Amino acid sequence: MAELRRIKCKKCGKIQYPGRIRCIKCKSSEFEDLYPEPLDSGTIITFTKLYAPPETLKEEPPYIFGIVEFNNGVRALGRISEKEKVKVGMKVKPTYGQVSVDPEGKPNFGIIFKPVD
Ligand SMILES: [Zn+2]
């Protein structure tokens, strides 16, 4: 999943997204790429519930958005499919799907985290 690519500074170790020419912490220009494994699960570290979403989000609110951390330190923002039992510390895995529709009716895609059974 290229959407989850992060870069890690080889000099200071700062993980950052999106990709940059220079490290935001130490200005080094040498990075290594980081990816979670495709079926890797991660842990929800924070989330928010959106009860008044923009009109482009067509499903019933609330919309849950959260930040998930993977074992290698990669963090990713995405929608969380679980609405009722969502909590910090929950294990989820990333999937890629339609998250909204733009004003012209075109679908927008992004990361959707689903609970790991
Ligand atoms: Zn750095």
**Strand partners of residue 60:** none
DSSP 88-104: TT-EEEEEEEEEEE-TT
The CA 5 to ligand 1 mean position distance, Å, reads 17
Look at residue 115 in the predicted model and tell me its pLDDT: 94
The CA 29 to ligand 1 mean position distance, Å, reads 8
The CA 44 to ligand 1 mean position distance, Å, reads 26
Predicted confidence (pLDDT) per residue in 29-48, tens digit: 999 988 766 568 899 999 99
Percentage with pLDDT > 70 across the chain: 92
pTM for the predicted model, two decimal places: 0.67
- Show the low-confidence residues of the chain (pLDDT under 70): 1-4, 36-39, 58
3-state secondary structure of 21: coil
Look at residue 39 in the predicted model and tell me its pLDDT: 62
CB 57 within 8 A of CB 100: yes
The CA 26 to ligand 1 mean position distance, Å, reads 4
The CA 79 to ligand 1 mean position distance, Å, reads 29
